Amino acid sequence: MIFTMISLILPTYNEAENIPELLPKIEEILSGIPHEIIIVDDDSPDKTWQVALDLSQNKEDVHVIRRVDKRGLSSAVIDGFLAAKGDVFAVMDADGQHDMELLPKLYVAVKENNGLAIGSRYIEGGSVGGWDERRHFLSKIATKMALHICSVKVKDPMSGFFALDRKVFEEVLPRLNPKGFKILLDLLVHVPKETKATETPYTFGVRQLGKSKLSWKVQIEFLEYLYDVTVGRFIPLTFVKFCIVGTFGVFVHLIAYGVISRSIMDGDPLTIGGFSFAVIGATEIAIIFNYLLNNSWTFAHQKLRGTSAIVGFFKYNVACSFGALANWAVSAYLFSIGWIDFLAVFTGAIVGVMWNYTMNRMFTWRK
């Protein structure tokens, strides 16, 4: 067998305590194989990137990428792959919970099948280790959901410990959706059905240092990913979120109108001028609410900050103003030609939402 290089990607976030212990062990295990280790850190507050840089001094096989404008394990792994020189790519967590002794086996398996090799917790001989019943149950449910969308079926599509042939990655790269923590799942969804995948059992270890990254946010990102690669191909998730925010905005608008109108009335009947002022004020409050929520949630992956957030706010205001005009024009026209008022208003509202989403996608939060 011709020994070619393996590029091991270690995505990190707040792993400053683990890296010093992990690196020497990995280098010893891979000592008989041409290799490089690429640490991709998401600008950790505990300065994992600095610790890794210090450890990489005088080591030609250790490289560090510090990402200051990106977040997420999947995108970190992809950035590591793009920087890698090897013919075999491998991924492993930096918290010591993956059995690094399996790295040579995964490497050999990829060289033999030219596809994927996975460290599996769910084939015979594998185990989730010391997980509690709740986490084990959630993992089983997630695994079953994930298998329905995979082109290549394996027992553990959610594993974070795997290797693959460089050519496999290069072929699917344009189709990948780097959201959340499950990069292997994304690969299994997009690789050709004939891609070969082998699984090697291992027992998921117990984290010794640092904190687990599994959180409610990670679980929501998993559900969002499932939506993206199924229904999301027809109705973008960002559009669904945009509509949800808009619905909440209606309630904010009504509450704001009630507060402003009552403060203006002060016991007297509401005049047309007072009514108009209350409507305009409530509309702007709803726009501010919608913008902030859309920026932090709907378009979280493109969140505007600093000066860009201020400029984005003015763009959002302009887009929504024209959206309101489009809403009124469509509903008024449909009513004038004999449509039922409710249906005319509903259709106009749909047009307004579509306009606001499209314009803000083009100008406020550009792809």
Domain range for residue 311?
Answer: 237-364
Beta bridge partners of 162: 91, 118
More confident residue, 261 or 315: 315
Residues 249 and 303 in one domain: yes
User: pLDDT category, 1, cuts 50, 70, 90?
Assistant: very low
Measure the CA–CA gap between 238 and 301, rounded to whole angstroms: 10
Q: Is the pLDDT of residue 212 over 50?
A: yes
More confident residue, 60 or 206: 60
Residues 79 and 140 in one domain: yes
Listed range (172-176, 219-223, 310-314) with the worst mean pLDDT: 219-223
* pLDDT mean over 22-28: 93
Beta bridge partners of 319: none
More confident residue, 249 or 209: 249
* pLDDT mean over 221-230: 78
Q: Is the pLDDT of residue 216 over 70?
A: no
Position 160 scores a pLDDT of 87
Q: Is the pLDDT of residue 172 over 70?
A: yes
pLDDT in tens, 70-121: 888 889 999 999 999 999 999 998 888 888 999 999 999 999 999 999 999 8
Q: Is the pLDDT of residue 180 over 70?
A: no
Round the average pLDDT of the chain to a whole number and report it: 86
Measure the CA–CA gap between 322 and 103, rounded to whole angstroms: 57
Q: Classify residue 212 by burial, with Cβ atoms within 10 Å: 0-12, 13-18, 19+.
A: exposed
Position 259 scores a pLDDT of 86
Q: Classify residue 352 by burial, with Cβ atoms within 10 Å: 0-12, 13-18, 19+.
A: buried
- Provide the domain count of the chain: 2
Residues 61 and 98 in one domain: yes
Q: Is the pLDDT of residue 202 over 80?
A: yes
Residues 170 and 29 in one domain: yes
Q: Classify residue 204 by burial, with Cβ atoms within 10 Å: 0-12, 13-18, 19+.
A: buried
Top mean-pLDDT range of 180-194, 248-262, 304-318, 344-358: 304-318
Residues 106 and 91 in one domain: yes
Assess if residue 139 is contained within a domain: yes
More confident residue, 149 or 193: 193
Position 2 scores a pLDDT of 53
Position 329 scores a pLDDT of 85
Residues 352 and 255 in one domain: yes
CATH number of residue 123's parent domain? 3.90.550.10
Last residue of a domain, which of 199, 233, 267?
233
More confident residue, 278 or 16: 16
Assess contact for 81 and 169: CB atoms under 8 A.
yes
Listed range (23-27, 134-138, 253-257) with the worst mean pLDDT: 134-138
Residues 295 and 351 in one domain: yes
Residues 171 and 91 in one domain: yes
Position 102 scores a pLDDT of 94
Assess if residue 96 is contained within a domain: yes
Measure the CA–CA gap between 89 and 179, rounded to whole angstroms: 19
Position 258 scores a pLDDT of 83
Last residue of a domain, which of 233, 260, 282?
233
Assess contact for 160 and 181: CB atoms under 8 A.
yes
Q: Is the pLDDT of residue 32 over 70?
A: yes
Residues 207 and 108 in one domain: yes
Beta bridge partners of 11: 40
Residues 177 and 297 in one domain: no
Assess if residue 1 is contained within a domain: no
Residues 305 and 194 in one domain: no
pLDDT in tens, 132-168: 677 667 777 777 888 888 899 999 988 889 999 999 9
Length of the chain (residues): 367
More confident residue, 39 or 264: 39
Residues 254 and 133 in one domain: no
